[in-house]
Amino acid sequence: MKLPIASALFALLASLSCHQFVLAQETPDHPEDYSYLTKLHVPEAVVQCVAAFDHWVEDAPKYDALIVPDRRVLSATIDKRSPIFSVGNPIPVDQVIVMRAFAKARGKGKWTRVDSRCGVRDGQVVGVSLTPNMKLQIVR
């Protein structure tokens, strides 16, 4: 009778110690969707901006999908001199990240070139914006 209780108690203690071990392991900074960007040596602020855009576009009234090509992420401009996010949205920031992207308007099938801007303060994204980037057409 004592043997089954002792073995059950041992199994319970072993499972609790394994649970604590799993919790003690370091969790990744980014979800799996963005971990490949850190392997490409993309700066942390740019990775955070890409993640913020993906989350922001889910609830955006104008757009329902956004694509930032890897080559645009790799060539993102990081402006550390700008003290505010934008004139229309004067949030104080440490850096502004700008990169080209493609957005699809809600309910439409056409993709539009956009300039994406992201403001980062103290390592956190504090503002995002998308501005259509219309290609000039020459009419003859």
pLDDT of the residue at 77 = 92
Residue 110, CA distances (Å) to 26, 58, 70, 133 in order: 42, 17, 21, 14
Contacts for 108 with CB less than 8 Å, ≥ 6 apart: none
pTM of the model: 0.68
Q: Across the chain, what does the average pLDDT equal?
A: 78
pLDDT of the residue at 49 = 93
Q: Give the residue-averaged pLDDT of 33-41.
A: 84
3-state secondary structure of 8: helix
At 48-84, the pLDDT tens digits run 999 999 888 888 888 889 999 889 999 999 998 888 8
DSSP string, 71-110: HHHHT-EEESS-SBS-SSS--B-SEEEEEEEEEEETT---
Say whether pLDDT at 139 is over 80.
no
Cβ-defined contacts of 4-13 (< 8 Å, 24+): none
Q: What are 79's strand-pairing partners?
A: 96
